[in-house]
A and B are shown apart, each in its own frame.
Chain A
Amino acid sequence: MADTAEAPLLAKIRAHQVIARAEERPGNGRWSRFAQPRWIGILGIGLGLLAFWLALPPLASRTLVWPILVGVLSVAAGIAATTRGAGRVGWGAIVAGLAGIALGALATHSSTSHLNDVIVWSALIASTLRYATPLTYAAIGGMFSERSGVVNIGLEGDMLMGSFFGVWGADVTNSWFLGLLIAILSGMVLALVHAFFCIQLRADQIVVGTAINFLALGVTGYLFVDKYGANGAPTSIPTIPDITINSLKGVYFIGPVFGDLNLMIWLSFVLLFVSYIVMFRTPIGLRIRSVGEHPRAADTVGISVYATRYAAVVVSGGLAAMGGAYLSLGFVHTFDQNITGGRGFIALAALIFGKWRPLGAFAACLLFGFSSALGDRLPTYFTAGSSLPVLFNALPYVLTLIAVAGVIGRSIPPAAIGRPYVKQ
C-alpha cells in the first residue's frame, strides 16, 4: 500500500531534483564556464601538481607549509567537484592533491630518513581519522535533520550532551557501553525538546537551535560542577576500547594507520555506509527527503510530516551525541566544560560543504580533521614560537564560506529547510 501511494511522489521528487539540478548549472555569465564542477576538478588537479612542483627545484620550498596548503586546496576543489557531479575529475583532483602533499613532503625531507617520514605521515593520517570521527557522527546526524527540513544549529549542544552524559554514565555504571547508551539517550532527549519547539510550536528553527546550544552548555556545565566540582572529571572511567588488529600491524604504512583505531572510528565507517543506503536507497530515506523538499506533496500522499521530522531530529541528536561521546570517552578520556569547542559547527560546515550527502560530508570531515591534525602537528616544522599553524584551524570555515558563496559550485540546501510545516 505504501509503495503505490508513494509512486506519484517519487515521480514528483525526481522531477524536482531534475529542476534543481538544472537550476544549479549556471548557464549564463562570462565566468560561469569556470564555475562548473569539471573545471573546478581540473583546477584541483593543477593545484595538486603545483603542490609537488613547489617542493622541487628551482623553487624547492624547504618548509612543508606551501605544498600542504596548496595540496589541501586541491583536495577541497576535488571534493567540491565530486559532490557536484564531476566525479571522475574530482577524484583525480583529490588523488593529485594527496599525492602532491605526500611527494612534496618527501621532497622537502629528502635529507631525513625515508622511514621516518612514513611514520610521521601514517601518524598524521591516524590523527586525522581521530579528529574527523566526532565530526562525522554529528554531520551524518545533521544530514538526517536537515534533509527532513529542520535546520540543526543545535548539533553542538547535542554533542556536548553526549560528551558529558557519556562520561557520567560510564562513571556511574562503570561500563563504557552503558555510558555510550546514556549519552545517545541524552542527545535524543535534547533533540526532542528541539523538535517539539521547531515542529510543534513552529518557533524559528535557528533561534531554537541557538537556545539548545546555550541550554546544553548550561546543563552540562552545571551538572559537571555539581557532580565533580573542583576535582574535575574522574580520570579512571572505563573508556571505549581501541581495536588492535595484529595481522595488520606489521604492514608497511597501513599498519600504523589502521592497526590501532578506536571502535567508534570503525563504527563511523559502518554508519556512513548505512546512512547512505537508508537515505538514498530505501523508502524511509525517500520519505525523509520528500518531507524536506516538498512537505505538502509528501503530506498529500499520506506521509506524516510531523512524525518524519520528529524522528529525523531525534536520530540526529542521538548521532551527534555519539560523536560527543566518542570525543570524551574514546579520544580525550575525560570531560571539561565546553569540551566540544565548536566541533558541532564544524560538522555543520562539513555537512554544507559536502552538499548534504553522507560521502561528501565524510570527505569534508576528513579534510577538516586533517587541518586540525596539521594544526596540532605542524608546529614542529616551524621555527619555534610562531603562531602561524593555528591558522590551519580556520581552514574549514574559510572553505565552507567559499562553498556557500558559490565560488566553487553552490551548496543548495533542501528546499523546505527552516520552514515549519502547518498541516491543513
Chain B
Amino acid sequence: MTELPGELEAPEAPEPTPEGTVPSVAARLALYQRAGGFVVPLITTVLAFFIGGLVVLVVTHKNPISTYKAIFNGSGLNWFFPWISHSDRVTAAFNLQSTLLLTTSLIFTGLAVAFAFRCGLFNIGGQGQYGMGAIVAVLVASSWTSMSGVPHIVLSIVLGALAGALWAGLAGILKATVGAHEVITTIMLNWIVFWFAAYLFGIGGPAQSSTQALVPVSNDVAPNTHLHVFWGSPILQGLHIGFFIAIAALVAYWIVLNRTTLGFEVRAVGFNPEAARYAGISVAKNYFLAMAISGTAAGLAGAIDVLGWKFRVGVDDIQGSTIGFIGIAVALLGRNTAVGIFFSALLFGALVNGTSTRNLDPSVFQPELASNLTLMIQGLVLLFVGADVLVIYLWRTRRKLLFWRRSAPTR
C-alpha cells in the first residue's frame, strides 16, 4: 500500500472537533459565537460574490462592480436610499415589490428546509411540495366560483398547505416506518409532481384551461380570491398581504421551535435521535411531524403565490420554477434561524429578481448571463456554507506550512 509518510509522522494536533482543543481554532469558533453566528454566512456570501465577480471579469471582461450595481438597482433595493430622484424611486418601488414577492415565497420554502433540518432531516423536496400547494390551490380557487371571497381564499390556502404537508408527510412516514432516506424519497416526489403537472395542465390534460385550448395552463382563479395588494398596483404584481403571512410564519417558527414541547422534541431528535429515544421521545412521530410541518410551509408558498400574483398555474410554472431549491440555500445561509432566513430570503429574492430579464439593464450586463451568475453564486454559497471546517482547515494548513518551514523534514 502506498502511504504518505508525512501523514503518519507529522506531530498531529488533536482532532479539530467543534469544541476545539487547538486554542487558535477555539478562539475562532468563539468569535463566531460572539458575533451571533453572523460571521460565517457573511464571509460565505462575500466570498461567493467575489468569485462571481471574478467570473464576470475574466470570462466576459465586464466590470464586476458596475454589474453588481446594476443588479442591485434591478432588485429595487435602492428604494431605501433617500437621495435617488423621484422617477428612479417609482421604478425602484416597482422592482422592490417584485423582489419582496420572491422574498415571500423564499421565506416559506426556506422555512420548509429549516424546520426539517432542525429535526435532523434534509428536506430537498420543497420544490415538489411547493408544486403540490400551487396545483391544489389553483384547482380549488378556480372551481366553486360561487363561494364568497374570504372563505374561498382560506379554503384554497388551507388545502394547498395540506397538499404540501401530505406530500412531505409521505417522505416523513417512509423515513419513520421503514427508514427510507428522506433525500431520495423527496427527490423522487419532486419529479413525480413535475410530470403530474405536465399531465394535469398539459394540452388535453384534465385540468387544462377551458378557454385556451392550445396553452398548457390551468384555469384562472376566481377574481374574488386574489389576495389584497397593499403596495403598488394590483394589476402590475404589487406586494400582497402574503408578505405578512410569511413574516408571521417566521415568528411562528421561532415560537414553535423555542417555546413549545413540539419544538423541543424536534430539536432533541435533531441533535441526537438515540438520546431522544432514550428520553422517551417518539422519534418516528417527530420525523413525520417535522416533514409534514415543513411541507405545510412549502405548500403555503405555492398557494400564496397562486392567489397573490400568478392567478394561474402553467406547466412551466411547475417545471421551470426553482423556488424550492433556492429555499435550501436560504435555510442554510440563514443558519436555520428565523432572522437569518428573513435576510437570506431577501438576499436571494433580490439576486434572482435583480438578474431577471425584466429588471436588469441589458446595456450594463446581459440578463441571460446574470441569471446564470445567480445560479453560480447560489452554488458557491451552498458549497462554502456547508464547510465550516474550511476555516479550520485553512488555519491548520497555515500552521502545517509554518511548521514545515521551521523544521526541515526528518527524512
Also in contact, A223 and B368, with CB within 8 A (given A206-B122, A218-B378, A400-B188): no
* Pick from B7, B195, B386: contact of A204, CB under 8 Å: B386
Indicate if the CB atoms of B195 and A390 lie closer than 8 Å. yes
- Identify the interface centre among B192, B328, B375: most chain A CB within 10 Å of its CB: B375
Q: Which of A319-362 contact B (CB under 8 A)?
A: 337, 342, 345-346, 348-349, 352
Q: Does A410 reach chain B (CB closer than 8 Å)? A: yes
Q: Which of A367-385 contact B (CB under 8 A)?
A: 384-385
* Interface mask (B210-235 → A, CB under 8 Å = 1, otherwise 0): 00000000000000000000000000
Q: Which of B1-50 contact A (CB under 8 A)?
A: 1-4, 7, 15
Q: Which residues in A have their C-beta under 8 angstroms from that of B202?
A: 387, 390
Also in contact, A222 and B15, with CB within 8 A (given A390-B198, A393-B195): no
Q: Does B275 reach chain A (CB closer than 8 Å)? A: no
> Complex formed: what's the CA distance from A225 to B375 in Å?
14
Also in contact, A218 and B1, with CB within 8 A (given A210-B124, A387-B203, A406-B178): no
Indicate if the CB atoms of A385 and B204 lie closer than 8 Å. yes
> Complex formed: what's the CA distance from A223 to B58 in Å?
12
Which residue of chain A has its CB nearest to the CB of B319?
A341
Q: How far is the CB of B125 from the nearest CB of chain A, in Å?
A: 11
* Pick from A193, A218, A386: contact of B376, CB under 8 Å: A218
Q: Which residues in B have their C-beta under 8 angstroms from that of A204?
A: 122, 386
Q: Which residues in A have their C-beta under 8 angstroms from that of B203?
A: 385, 387
Indicate if the CB atoms of A304 and B2 lie closer than 8 Å. yes
> Complex formed: what's the CA distance from A200 to B387 in Å?
10
Q: Does B236 reach chain A (CB closer than 8 Å)? A: no
> Complex formed: what's the CA distance from A223 to B375 in Å?
13
Q: Does A15 reach chain B (CB closer than 8 Å)? A: no
Q: Which of B164-187 contact A (CB under 8 A)?
A: 174, 178, 180-181, 183-185, 187
Indicate if the CB atoms of B192 and A404 lie closer than 8 Å. no
Also in contact, A222 and B187, with CB within 8 A (given A207-B382, A387-B204): no
Indicate if the CB atoms of A218 and B372 lie closer than 8 Å. yes
Indicate if the CB atoms of A210 and B382 lie closer than 8 Å. yes
Indicate if the CB atoms of B378 and A214 lie closer than 8 Å. yes
Q: How far is the CB of A14 from the nearest CB of chain B, in Å?
A: 20
Q: Which residues in A have their C-beta under 8 angstroms from that of B180?
A: 404-406
B interface, by DSSP: helix, strand, loop or mixed?
Answer: helix
Which residue of chain B has its CB nearest to the CB of A219?
B376
Indicate if the CB atoms of A197 and B386 lie closer than 8 Å. yes
Q: Which residues in A have their C-beta under 8 angstroms from that of B3?
A: 302, 304
Q: Which residues in A have their C-beta under 8 angstroms from that of B2?
A: 304, 307
How many A-B residue pairs lie within 8 Å, measured between CB atoms? 175
Q: Which residues in B have their C-beta under 8 angstroms from that of A304?
A: 1-4
> Complex formed: what's the CA distance from A385 to B204 in Å?
5
Q: Which of B105-129 contact A (CB under 8 A)?
A: 122, 124
Indicate if the CB atoms of A398 and B372 lie closer than 8 Å. no
Q: How large is the interface on A (under 10, 10 to 19, 20 to 34, 35 or more residues)?
A: 35 or more
Q: Does B199 reach chain A (CB closer than 8 Å)? A: yes
Q: Which residues in A have their C-beta under 8 angstroms from that of B187?
A: 153, 345, 348-349
Q: Does A203 reach chain B (CB closer than 8 Å)? A: yes
Indicate if the CB atoms of A225 and B382 lie closer than 8 Å. no
> Complex formed: what's the CA distance from A398 to B204 in Å?
23
Indicate if the CB atoms of A401 and B189 lie closer than 8 Å. yes
Q: Which residues in B have their C-beta under 8 angstroms from that of A218?
A: 372-379
Indicate if the CB atoms of A405 and B174 lie closer than 8 Å. yes
Which residue of chain B has its CB nearest to the CB of A394?
B195
Q: Does B191 reach chain A (CB closer than 8 Å)? A: yes
> Complex formed: what's the CA distance from A226 to B276 in Å?
52
Q: Does B57 reach chain A (CB closer than 8 Å)? A: no
Indicate if the CB atoms of A225 and B387 lie closer than 8 Å. no
Indicate if the CB atoms of B124 and A214 lie closer than 8 Å. no
Indicate if the CB atoms of B185 and A206 lie closer than 8 Å. no
Q: Does B369 reach chain A (CB closer than 8 Å)? A: yes
Indicate if the CB atoms of A2 and B379 lie closer than 8 Å. no
Also in contact, A404 and B1, with CB within 8 A (given A218-B373, A221-B375, A397-B191): no
Indicate if the CB atoms of B181 and A390 lie closer than 8 Å. no
Q: Which residues in A have their C-beta under 8 angstroms from that of B188?
A: 349, 397-398, 400-401, 404
Q: Which residues in A have their C-beta under 8 angstroms from that of B388?
A: 203
Which residue of chain A has its CB nearest to the CB of B195?
A394
Indicate if the CB atoms of A400 and B184 lie closer than 8 Å. yes
* Pick from A214, A223, A397, A405: contact of B325, CB under 8 Å: A214
* Interface mask (B330-364 → A, CB under 8 Å = 1, otherwise 0): 00100000000000000000000000000000000
> Complex formed: what's the CA distance from A93 to B325 in Å?
39
* Interface mask (A213-257 → B, CB under 8 Å = 1, otherwise 0): 111111101110110000000000000000000000000000000
Q: How far is the CB of B109 from the nearest CB of chain A, in Å?
A: 14
> Complex formed: what's the CA distance from A225 to B357 in Å?
14
Indicate if the CB atoms of B390 and A201 lie closer than 8 Å. yes
Q: Does A211 reach chain B (CB closer than 8 Å)? A: yes
Q: Which residues in B have their C-beta under 8 angstroms from that of A46?
A: none
> Complex formed: what's the CA distance from A213 to B325 in Å?
11
> Complex formed: what's the CA distance from A422 to B381 in Å?
24
Q: Which of A168-212 contact B (CB under 8 A)?
A: 193, 197, 200-204, 206-208, 210-212
Indicate if the CB atoms of B60 and A226 lie closer than 8 Å. yes
* Pick from A222, A388, A401, A424: contact of B369, CB under 8 Å: A222
Indicate if the CB atoms of A208 and B383 lie closer than 8 Å. yes
> Complex formed: what's the CA distance from A65 to B23 in Å?
68
* Pick from A1, A215, A401: contact of B383, CB under 8 Å: A215
> Complex formed: what's the CA distance from A423 to B192 in Å?
40
Q: Does A285 reach chain B (CB closer than 8 Å)? A: no
Indicate if the CB atoms of A203 and B387 lie closer than 8 Å. yes
Indicate if the CB atoms of A401 and B185 lie closer than 8 Å. yes
* Pick from B198, B208, B369, B376: contact of A226, CB under 8 Å: B369
Also in contact, A211 and B382, with CB within 8 A (given A2-B1, A302-B3, A345-B187): yes
Q: How far is the CB of A216 from the nearest CB of chain B, in Å?
A: 8
Also in contact, A352 and B1, with CB within 8 A (given A215-B383, A221-B375): no
* Pick from B181, B195, B204, B329: contact of A413, CB under 8 Å: B181
Q: Does B194 reach chain A (CB closer than 8 Å)? A: yes
Which residue of chain B has its CB nearest to the CB of A423?
B7
Q: Which residues in B have their C-beta under 8 angstroms from that of A349?
A: 184, 187-188
Indicate if the CB atoms of B389 and A201 lie closer than 8 Å. yes
Q: Which residues in A have their C-beta under 8 angstroms from that of B7?
A: 423
Indicate if the CB atoms of A215 and B393 lie closer than 8 Å. no
Q: Does A303 reach chain B (CB closer than 8 Å)? A: yes
- Identify the interface centre among B325, B332, B382: most chain A CB within 10 Å of its CB: B382
> Complex formed: what's the CA distance from A81 to B187 in Å?
24
With A197-B383, A218-B379, A223-B59 already in contact, 18 other A-B pairs whose C-beta atoms are closer than 8 Å: A1-B1, A203-B386, A204-B386, A208-B382, A208-B383, A214-B329, A214-B375, A218-B377, A221-B372, A337-B372, A386-B205, A387-B199, A390-B198, A390-B202, A393-B198, A394-B195, A398-B188, A404-B188
23 contacts between A and B (CB under 8 A): A153-B124, A203-B386, A204-B386, A207-B386, A212-B379, A221-B372, A221-B375, A222-B55, A222-B376, A302-B3, A304-B4, A346-B191, A348-B184, A384-B204, A387-B199, A390-B195, A390-B202, A391-B199, A394-B191, A394-B192, A397-B195, A401-B188, A405-B180
**6 cross-chain pairs, A with B, having the tightest CB-CB distances, nearest first:** A218-B376, A215-B379, A218-B375, A214-B379, A211-B382, A387-B202
Q: What is B's interface to A at a CB cutoff of 8 Å? A: 1-4, 7, 15, 55, 59-60, 122, 124, 174, 178, 180-181, 183-185, 187-189, 191-192, 194-196, 198-200, 202-205, 208, 325, 328-329, 332, 366, 368-369, 371-383, 385-390, 393
